[in-house]
Chain A
Amino acid sequence: MFGKMRKVYGGFFRAGAQGAMAYRLNFMGFFIGESLYCFVMYFMWKAVFMASGESTFMGFTLVDMTMYVFLSNIVGFFTGTDSTRALAEEIRDGNIIMRMIKPVNVDLSLLANEVGNNVVYFAFIFAPVMLGVEIYRYCALGYVAFDIVSFLIFILSMILSYILSFYLNLIFGYLAFWLMNIWGFDILKGSIIKFFSGAMIPLAFFPGIVRDIFELLPFASMVYKPTMIYMGKISGVNILVALGEQIIWILVFYGIAKLLWHFAQKRLAVQGG
């Protein structure tokens, strides 16, 4: 059954990858923009550290912080998804029916499409950025701190984070069935994720109880936890807990998305006659 699925959705995967290749240049622009953002964040945190006059801040050294900025960004980039916008647009212009006349699941075909897209980007930027991060760490610490086990767990956690983020975004996309235009909600969702996922500020910087609550929310699983796993700040049994949480949130969002789709189909009034 899995083999058959791979075959059916393989087409969507390849189409996504080829589509990404067709717009390489567009992607380069985006990449440069993201890199600039990382450097701005780096200099900002550097200023914070220098002003505080202490070498560690909430358990983070400047080296940690620099790594966090670049890692959380690349995690955010690869686990981020365009599924809200892609789906909402298809619902709004009615093109979702072109998916429905094929013997495929709407969510899985979108997922395969996007994974194809991401794999191309991954090949282009993941290795160079990770290499850069490691070289920086080596220069700063004077020894190689790379750990292959943490790295592999990090990759696994990132994949889980992507699936989680995909279904959360899909839920927002389905809202278009009721609201038609979800632009406002999409912005709101973006801000919430940016803040609560730790993409802007490490959740470790928040005071006690607030941090505990933030870490329990699904958003923490999206950027903060994979990043902390790579940095070795989550270790031992806590890694299993973090992965377990990710899986639970995937199941929750997957369930909600399926339920919404079930109701949405009854509501489907295709735009444009």
Chain B
Amino acid sequence: MSSNNMIEVKNVSKEFKKIIKEPGLKGSVKSLFHKKQEIVKAVDDISFTVEKGEILGFIGPNGAGKSTAIKMLTGILTPTSGDIMINGQVPYKNRKKYVKEIGVVFGQRTQLWWDLPLTETFTVLKEIYQIEDAAFKNRMDFLNQVLELEPFIKSPVRTLSLGQRMRADIAASMIHNPKVLFLDEPTIGLDVVVKDNIRKAITEINQNEKTTIILTTHDISDIELLCKRIVMIDKGKKVYDGALDKMKEKYGKMREIHINLKSIEDMNKLAFTEKFNLLEDDLEVKLEGKKATIKFNSSKAQVSDMLSYILATITVKDIAVSEADIEEIIRRLYKG
């Protein structure tokens, strides 16, 4: 293991046996007596490394195998094949020892004690992780300042709002100063302001503590704001590993032209496909009232050519060009 790598994942696969049930009541009855099984590869031969102090975005569509992968990295699941080495340990070999030095947030679950005041959860965690009094106090002060827990620290957890609960959960995952932090959908269901606070906190924790972070999310702004590098998986396989900028360059040739039309009929005069010889995948036209959005592949048709063609063909009230966001890139990548 090279000294700089905090996480090394080598040819890891995870298979599940899945029972196939035929639809309907008849299928249910049938499956009572005769079970059809199928082997599903949730994670298929994935390899990657993460350096100490890096924030890695781990993304993919629903059911891509993200969660399964995270559960293997956190020592909950054992891989069917392959090797994982994190912080010099094999996660699933000695779970209790391994988890002492990692922190985990599963955004859809909570590790807080539901019926107790929040501060009690931290006292319990202090005992579980055997944290010294002084270290605990320092840590609490830091987390308090970054995540602003003070206003609700005395309230029972069940009375907290989702945003408060998530901040508390992140604090709880960090109380023992973990070397690696796994954040699985840490901003799910939160409003923009809270998301922003949480992102700031994650950045601050990463910079102050050099904590290595793996982040999975569906919110692409999380990735854009937090991660320099991403690993993308789809159908269990790794489909991209590299800098976010590079990915945008590679797949992000999509541009959007927004037009305010004078008359809707004008749109019929525009024939982009013929004019620029575009494929179905290279062009998407949306029309809402008199506002049209034309999304196209700028490596096939230059932005300037598109603009001059439009302006030469029809009269417009207003026209603007924008870059497609990463969400679009990912969507296209998944399709391909």
Contacts and interface: CB of A to CB of B under 8 A. Distances in A.
Interface string B100-118: 1010101011110101100
Contacts of A12: 124, 128
A23 B111 CA distance: 20
A46 B215 CA distance: 68
A133 interface: no
Interface string B8-29: 0000000010000000000000
A102 B129 CA distance: 8
Interface in A1-30: 4, 7-8, 10-12, 14-15, 18-19, 22-23
Interface string A252-273: 0000000000000110111011
Contact of A102 (B78, B108, B123, B128): B128
A98 B109 contact: yes
A94 B63 CA distance: 16
A104 interface: yes
B113 A103 contact: no
Contact of A97 (B16, B63, B96, B109): B109
A18 B124 CA distance: 12
A209 interface: no
Interface in B222-268: none
A186 B238 CA distance: 43
B115 A10 contact: no
A103 to B, nearest CB: 5
Interface in A67-121: 94-95, 97-98, 100-105
A270 B76 CA distance: 9
A19 B108 contact: no
B99 A19 contact: no
B105 to A, nearest CB: 9
Nearest to B116: A18
Contacts of A100: 75-76, 95, 99
Nearest to A94: B109
B115 A4 contact: no
A273 B70 CA distance: 11
Contacts of A98: 106, 109-111
Interface in A174-208: none
Contact of B96 (A94, A105, A269): A105
A34 to B, nearest CB: 23
Contacts of A102: 99, 111, 128
B127 A10 contact: yes
B100 A268 contact: no
What size tier do the contact residues of chain B reach? 35 or more
Nearest to B40: A269
Contact of B99 (A15, A101, A272): A101
Contacts of A14: 120, 123-124
A7 B131 CA distance: 11
B74 interface: yes
B41 interface: no
A45 B127 CA distance: 50
B130 interface: yes
A10 B113 CA distance: 14
B127 A95 contact: no
Contacts of A18: 113, 115-116, 120
A265 B75 CA distance: 11
Contacts of B74: 101
Contacts of A7: 127, 130
Nearest to A21: B115
B19 to A, nearest CB: 11
B128 A266 contact: no
A10 B108 CA distance: 27
Interface centre among A97, A103, A272 (most CB of B within 10 A): A103
Contacts of B62: 273
Contacts of A4: 130
A103 B131 CA distance: 13
Contacts of B95: 100
Given A4-B130, A100-B75, A103-B129, A15 B113 contact: yes
A152 to B, nearest CB: 30
A100 B76 CA distance: 6
Interface of B: 16, 62-63, 67, 71, 74-78, 95-97, 99-100, 102, 104, 106, 108-111, 113, 115-116, 120, 123-130, 156
23 contacts: A8-B127, A10-B127, A11-B123, A11-B124, A11-B125, A14-B124, A15-B120, A18-B113, A18-B120, A19-B113, A19-B116, A22-B115, A22-B156, A98-B109, A101-B111, A102-B111, A102-B128, A103-B100, A103-B128, A104-B128, A268-B77, A269-B16, A272-B108
